[in-house]
Structures are given as structure tokens and as C-alpha cells.
Amino acid sequence: MVRTASKWLTAGLMSLSSAAQAFTVFACEPEWAALTRILMPQATVHVATHAAQDPHHIEARPSLIAQLRSSDLAVCTGAGLEAGWLPLLQQRAGRAAPLFEAADHVVLIDARPGAVAHPWAGDVHAEGNPHLHTDPHKLLEVSQALAEELATMRPAERAAITQRAAHFAAQWRSSITRWEQRAAALKGRRVVVQHASFAYLWRWLGMIPQVDLEPKPGMAPTPGHLQHLLNSLRSTPPSAIVLASYQDPRAGRWLQRQLQVPVPLLILPATVEETAGQEGLVKWMDTVINELSKLE
């Protein structure tokens, strides 16, 4: 009986120790969930959004509130991307988990100092464009900053986290070289876009966003705006019309039909699948580059 009780006590202590060592992360977007899984594969990772969802606008569901409440760290983009829903989640969660924002660790493009959001302004990001993950160089910078954040929070795991970060960096840099070689012929190609979802991608590859289907960022295309675009594009047709996977393709298809020359409509995945890790990140960018390479 004593031996049995001792076994139960030992098992209970081991269970408590395991629970004490558990680490839970709330990721606002799938790309940051993927990076977290690479750097700390033993962590529990909750993801608030998915690749077919506009990260600007999601519902503050009770399940997300509970996940944020139970997390040790929230990893988000920042720069106002989650301004429409994350503060509400934080308020309803009733506790402030430490917040890591990727935008704090890179130089953003298209900053609009002093810009003020209002109902007629569209999606205003005064700090700069928040869709930084579509530039793999910036995603690498974020991975290094996130590794340091995780290592600081879990000092006993610093060596392992640092090693995983170095391994990821080496493989990611090799992939960047391959992508840049594959996409070299795309430099200078003009594309019709919707929103600035891939602005960092265009800048990285040297492509030119010719016109935007949205009259203002985040505002749905209007008939008058589309007709204006059509008139301007007839003399200089684009190489393609490019949309993110979560965007309504109807405006792009209308413009494609109206142009007098064949122009492909490309639907690019906005980010990785929800459960992706390192292979998923590479596969996602492979898909993006392969789709764009059809324009060569």
C-alpha cells in the first residue's frame, strides 16, 4: 500500500512539473503560429485566423477569448492590423498576456505619420503597411526577434531555441536565394492588385502594383472606380490581376473580362495553412513564386 501511494505521489508530482513547464502561445496570424512551432515545437499554439480570412476583420469569439486568457504569450503582427478585434479580445480575456508584435522588429513601408482613421478613410495604418510577412527577409528578421523573446521567457530552453532559430535561418536564406533566382524575370512586371496585401512581395521582387481595385484601402471596389481603372488600363494592360485568397474575386474577374487583351487572374495564398511549420512556410512561398512565374 505504501509503495502504491508513493507511485501515485511521484506520478502526481511529475504531472504538476509537466504542467508547470507547459507554454501556450496565442498567434494572431498563421505565419506567426508557424514560426512559433519552429522555434518551440513543444508549445501549445492557438491561431486566431486562417489563410482564407481577412486578418483585419474577425469576430471576437468566446473560444478566442478563452485561448488568449490561457496563453503565456500573444504573437501578432501589430501596426494596427488587429486593431479592430485584438483589443476587444484582450479586454474580455481579463488578463494581459505579454504581446510580441512583429512590426516592432522590422522597418515598415508606406508609413503615413499623423493619419487618422475614420469611416471614410479605409484601413489606415499610420505606422506603415502591416503585411510584412510577404517579404521573406523581413520574416527572417521577425524569427530572430521572436526567438530572443521566447528564450528570455524560457531561459532554461535558450540553447535549444537559439539552435532551432539558427537552423531555420540557414534553410530560409537558402530558400530566399532560390526564390530570387526563380523570380528574376518578374522584375518590372505591372500587376493590378486589391489592397496592399502583397506590397512587400512586389517591392522584394521588383514588381510594380499598377492600380488598386479598391478605391481606398479596405473599401470594396465600386462600379465607378472599376470603370475608371478599365479606361486607364486599356492603353497599358497589366501582366496580371493578382488577388489574395481571402478577397472577393468578382471585381477582378469583371476587369479581366472587359480588357481587350488576355490578362490572367492569379489568386495567391495570403499566408500558410493554420497548422504549418517550417515546411509549410517554404511551401507557401514556393506556391506564391510558382504562380507568379507563370507570367514569365
- Tens digits of residue pLDDT in 230-255: 999 999 999 999 999 999 999 999 99
* % the chain with pLDDT above 90: 81
Q: Tell me what the mean pLDDT of segment 267-294 comes to.
A: 90
Q: What is the pLDDT of residues 69-99, one digit of tens each?
A: 999 999 999 999 999 999 999 999 998 899 9
- Residue ranges of the domains in the chain? 21-179, 185-295
Fold that domain 185-295 belongs to in CATH? Rossmann fold (3.40.50)
Asked if the model's pLDDT at residue 5 lies above 60, the reply is no
Q: Tell me what the mean pLDDT of segment 122-137 comes to.
A: 88
Asked if the model's pLDDT at residue 7 lies above 50, the reply is no
- pLDDT the model gives residue 266: 98
How far lies 143's CA from each of 85, 108, 146, 172, 248, in Å?
24, 16, 5, 10, 31
Q: Tell me what the mean pLDDT of segment 100-111 comes to.
A: 96
Angle (deg, nearest 10), helices 86-93 and 62-69: 70
Q: Tell me which of 26-30, 48-52, 98-102, 284-288 is least confident.
A: 48-52
Question: Cell 500587376, residue?
Answer: 191
DSSP state of 209: E
d(CA 112, CA 245): 26
pLDDT interval class at 159 (50, 70, 90): very high
Domain at 21-179: CATH architecture: 3-Layer(aba) Sandwich (3.40)
d(CA 171, CA 162): 14
- pLDDT the model gives residue 224: 97
d(CA 230, CA 192): 11
Would you tell me how many other CB atoms lie within 10 Å of the CB of residue 51?
Answer: 19
Domain 21-179 and domain 185-295, same fold? Reply is yes
Asked if the model's pLDDT at residue 11 lies above 60, the reply is no
Q: Tell me what the mean pLDDT of segment 130-154 comes to.
A: 98
d(CA 6, CA 268): 58
Round the average pLDDT of the chain to a whole number and report it. 90
Angle (deg, nearest 10), helices 158-182 and 30-39: 130
pLDDT interval class at 188 (50, 70, 90): very high
Asked if the model's pLDDT at residue 10 lies above 90, the reply is no
Asked if the model's pLDDT at residue 62 lies above 70, the reply is yes
Selected residue with higher pLDDT from 10 and 31: 31
Q: Is 190 helix (H, G, I), strand (E, B) or coil?
A: strand
- pLDDT the model gives residue 115: 55
